[in-house]
Amino acid sequence: MRVDELLEIGLTRSFEFFPPKSDEESAVLEKSLAELDRLDPSFVSVTYRGGRESRQRTFDLVTRIQRAGHVTAMAHLICVGHRRDEMRDLLKNYADAGVTNVMALGGDLPDHPSLESSDFTYALELVELAREVGQFCVGVGAHPQGHPRSTDLASDRVQLARKLDAADFAVTQFFFEAAEWVQLVGELAELDVEKPVLPGIMPVTTLGGMERMASMGARVPEALVARLDAANLRGGPAAVRREGIVAATELCAELLDTGVPGLHFYTLNRSTATREICRALFS
């Protein structure tokens, strides 16, 4: 099904994966897919960082999930390092394979200089191309704290509103306070955009993870930092992990109370934390 149709039916539950690069990663992913399938996901999404090899891995995984018929699959697309004709061909290949859901993203700046050249400047252009090529359901990214490359929050919201107006729904970068989602959706409504915005969820399970998350445009609030530090003093890394999952579960419960259209979990290809959160919420 199309993701926008799933959102019209009711609350969605979705999981995000990345394509494996080795046999070991493949084994981990296969185990996670099997375990998370028991949670009856509405759809799953597969990321893509750029480059021919990564593009093929994403295509292979998305089409394999789609062909299996158990769950709807969504493919990530990025602007960075792509020509229009190249992306047009990729979209046609997805359409031919029966994949109708795509996520149009700007993409991270590439590690390799050869990937810097692109015919696209903004994700909006990728949304427009998908509309030209086929009958896709198109999702876009949203940053509750503002995109890391935005100059200010007000202009960030204006650009997001333009992008989301052309798309069907959005998925946010992970965040840690329900008020951030409420503020984001409220500011979009003030700009006359009321498309569904799915909150992205990723628990903080290590102290080192807080710094990495901040570098991705998702600062961990001081109250959560203090809470995890206290857990570390009580019981070390295991206690930090437990407290991080409890905090993420509390966040999800608050978001459900506000009326979110669904929950989107960043799994990092492992199922344990996501299963624990979903079990606490929906059992």
> Which candidate, 6, 80, 12, 73, places its Cα nearest to that of 46?
73
b or e along 62-91 (b: 16 or more beta carbons within 10 Å of the residue's beta carbon)?
Answer: bbebbeeeebbbbbbbbbbbbeeeebeebb
Active site residue 177: no
| Cα→Cα distances 217→105, 175, 248, Å | 15, 9, 18
Q: Between 153-166 and 178-190, two packed helices, what is the crossing angle to 10 degrees?
A: 70
Token reading at 146: 């503002």
Token reading at 115: 């990937």
DSSP 203: -
Segment (H or E) for 146: none
The catalytic residue among 16, 180, 187, 243 is 16
Do the beta carbons of residue 173 and residue 143 sit within 8 Å? yes
* Residue spans of alpha helices (H) in the chain: 3-9, 23-37, 52-68, 84-96, 123-133, 153-166, 178-190, 207-215, 222-258, 272-282
Strand 137-142 and strand 197-201: the pairing is unpaired
| Cα→Cα distances 31→8, 74, 263, Å | 30, 20, 22
Do the beta carbons of residue 200 and residue 266 sit within 8 Å? yes
Catalytic residue annotation: 16
